[in-house]
Amino acid sequence: MGFALQRDGRQMTVSISGDFIRYQAAGEAARLVRHIQKASPAILILEDKGIGRWDSSLLVVLYQIVRAARVAGITIRKQTLPDGLQRLIDLAFSVDRKPSRTNRVRSGFIIRVGEAGIRVAASIRRGIDFCRQTIISVGRWVRGKAVMRRVDFWFALDDCAPKAVGIVSLISFMVGLILAFVGAVQLKSFGAQIYVASLVTIGMTRIMGAIMVGIIMAGRTGASYAATIGTMQVNEELDALQTMGISRTDFLVLPRLFALVLAMPFLALLADIMGMVGGAAVGVFMLGISPSEYIHYSMEAFNLTNFFVGVFHGLVFGFVIALCGCYFGIHSGRNADSVGVATTRAVVYAIVWMIVMTGIITLVCEVLGI
């Protein structure tokens, strides 16, 4: 068993025989390479003289021999080797281990601006098309023709409503507490710290409660939607739905959209209450306001108009978060990095569009005198 070298003029033959299972390849390969380099033949023949069982250790030796011969410019003949061994040797040298570096030509400023504009236009077109498909799916659901399972809706509702109560309560309590602290800094100088109750009540019910819930749910539920649907894209499950003729919007978007739109007003109501409780903690324990007096001023400041404006904000934010999460999940790439990018974009775009919608709603309320 082993390797035998035979020199015949400008030709050298390496005869291989025996079994090569867990063969000590390193030392044998170095010895053979030294002999071949010293002899410097014009032709090197790798000859099968009864090769038995073999594993990758034999391939390691042959790889070292062939590599040394190729570097020295020696012609290699290996036709008598087993076909599998020949294919593995060819495969080992078929990969360019040092690929050439392509020179990228930097485009001009005008071209880069044009390409950016084309990408933005394509993104806007995809977003409008997605919203159109969602509206059509809602219409099919109203007519009872949408492919939406109830179990998906209840699962999504359980994920974005009861499981979010804890984090929404904690953050809203802290926001109400901070709002009371900030207001008390100025109101105390006028001896009007009692109006901290009015400040917190109006601020939380009008806008702050809904915004805090929106930011929390964008980072929690919107990211979850994008990651879940993006993973389905990677696993080609979205392609399977399309192949079966099932609308992805009906099956994936509608249950998540309905669940979040239904949950957001109730979470906004919870945020309002917890924010007022946080403000009461500051007013009662830090500013020395009696609980009855604090409740009295809070009830005087409470206004149903402000309350319904806040609830409406939560309703709109539910649409925005669900649409952003599902959109970026469906349009995710097909690798793990793309899922991470889609999740990040879902959160960022949801928050940005929430701020935009807040500005629009505030402007409309100002014009209407609400």
User: Do 159 and 67 have their domain in common?
Assistant: no
Q: End of a domain among 92, 119, 135?
A: 92
Residue 109 lies in a domain: no
Domain of 38: which CATH number? 3.30.750.24
Count CB-CB contacts under 10 A for residue 286. 14
| Last residue in a domain, options 55, 74, 92 | 92
- 72: closest CA among 49, 26, 38? 38
Are residue 154 and residue 80 in the same domain, yes or no? no
Helix (H, G, I), strand (E, B) or coil at 69: helix
Confirm whether 47 is domain-assigned.
yes
Asked if residue 10 is part of any domain, the answer here is: yes
Is 229 contained in some domain?
yes
Note down the domain range covering 170. Answer: 149-368
- Residues 87, 199: one domain? no
Tens digit of pLDDT at every position of the chain (370 positions): 577 777 777 788 877 777 777 766 667 777 777 777 777 778 887 877 777 777 777 777 788 888 888 888 888 887 778 887 788 878 877 765 555 666 666 777 888 888 888 988 988 898 899 889 889 988 888 888 888 888 888 988 888 888 888 899 999 999 888 888 888 877 777 777 777 888 888 888 888 888 999 999 998 898 999 999 988 888 888 888 888 888 888 888 899 999 999 999 899 999 988 988 888 888 888 777 888 888 888 888 888 888 888 889 989 999 999 999 999 988 888 888 888 889 999 999 999 999 999 889 889 888 888 7
Clarify whether residues 334 and 198 are in a common domain.
Answer: yes
Domain shared by 252 and 363, yes or no: yes
Do 190 and 292 belong together in one domain?
yes
- The verdict on 85 and 157 lying in the same domain is no
- What does the alpha-carbon distance between residue 215 and residue 220 come to, in Å, rounded to a whole number? 9
Count structural domains, the chain.
Answer: 2
User: Where does a domain end: 92, 108, 141?
Assistant: 92
Q: How many degrees, rounded to 5, is the angle at CA 148 between CA 142 and CA 151?
A: 125
Domain membership flag for residue 127: no
**Do 232 and 349 fall into the same domain?**
yes
In a domain, 77, yes or no: yes
CB atoms within 10 A of CB 222: 31
DSSP H helices, the chain, are 25-39, 56-72, 83-92, 109-142, 150-160, 165-187, 196-203, 209-217, 223-234, 237-243, 248, 254-285, 291-301, 304-330, 336-368
